[in-house]
Structure 1
Amino acid sequence: MSQPSSGDWSDPYHPQPGSGSVHEQPTQMGYPTADPYQPAGSAEQQQSFGSPPPGYNPPPGYSPPPGYSPPPGYSPPPGQPYATAPAPYQPRSTNGMAIASLVCSLAGLMVCLSAPVGAILGHIARKQIRERGEEGDGMALAGIVIGWILTGLCGLGVAGYITVIAIAISQEGSL
């Protein structure tokens, strides 16, 4: 198709040079340098958004943290094997008898009868911990040690009290 010769009609999508269209890019001579509808620059200058500039490489030794693998559908970087995610941590439960052993042994400071109970509970708790793989071995051991020490001290205290009474009775009869 040709344009009408009267010159009063022009195609707005393909302006004529020198028509004063806003799409023109004038130069020193007044003529457009390139087609305004084509991207400017060479193919090397046109990069996709987010890609690094030419010649850019990541710093040496850069790798993902250990235990992480690429998202599904992606392969690992060259030279790196697939890594599997570690199993989530599940804390082990603490043996209730170990807690009771420590509490009873410490209560033996006030009531001497609970100290041997705490020591015996500690022995039972350590056996259960070995069988079940639970936490609390340190508490059970502390309950055993504290319980038997307090039981021994209470036993010495009772023996000393009985000795004092026996001495007092024997001296009363000699007066």
Structure 2
Amino acid sequence: MSDSNLNPQPLPPQQQPQYSQPGAPAQPGWNVLAIVAFIATFFISILGIILGFVALSQIKRTGEQGRGLALAAVIIGFIALALGIIFSIIIFAAIASSGIQYQTS
């Protein structure tokens, strides 16, 4: 009786499952309203201010990226609005003073 399995080959060692480090949580995307507010603030500053505040509120609630853009939209919007008001006052004052000088001469 010839038994060919007298010298069995050792079984390969059981491999333990490899556990990897959990990946970093997926970064939430950019808040679209923050991007729109930043672009809109260069054309219509009041719209940029409003959209910037709404975007900041959404970012605070959802944790999306874009807080800097929304903040920049609000700041740039307020600066542009203030400069527009100042220039309007200067222009109206110049027109009024030139009208007064025209009538007296």
Assess same fold via TM > 0.5: yes
Q: Alignment partner for residue 105 of structure 1, among 24, 41, 60?
A: 41
- Greater helix share, structure number: 2
Could you report, residue by residue, the CA deviation over 1:76-117 in whole angstroms, capped at 9, with x for unpaired residues?
xxxxxx96422255221111110011101123xxxxxx0111
Could you report, residue by residue, the CA deviation over 1:57-81 in whole angstroms, capped at 9, with x for unpaired residues?
xxxxxxxxxxxxxxx8238xxxxxx
Counterparts of 1:134 and 1:95, CA distance in 2: 6
TM-score, L = length of structure 1: 0.48
Matched, 1:170 2:68: no
Q: Give % identity.
A: 27
Aligned to 2:85: 155
Q: Where does the alignment leave 5 or more consecutive residues of structure 1 unmatched?
A: 1-71, 76-81, 108-113
> What count of residue pairs does the alignment treat as equivalent?
92
Counterparts of 1:119 and 1:99, CA distance in 2: 12
Amino acid in the other structure paired with 2:77: G
Aligned to 1:73: 15
Aligned to 2:11: none
Counterparts of 1:124 and 1:88, CA distance in 2: 28
Counterparts of 1:131 and 1:74, CA distance in 2: 42
Query: Higher relative CO (CA 8 A, sep ≥ 6), structure 1 or 2?
Result: 2
Task: Answer with 1 or 2: which has the greater Rg.
Answer: 1
Cα root mean square deviation, aligned: 2.0
Amino acid in the other structure paired with 2:41: S
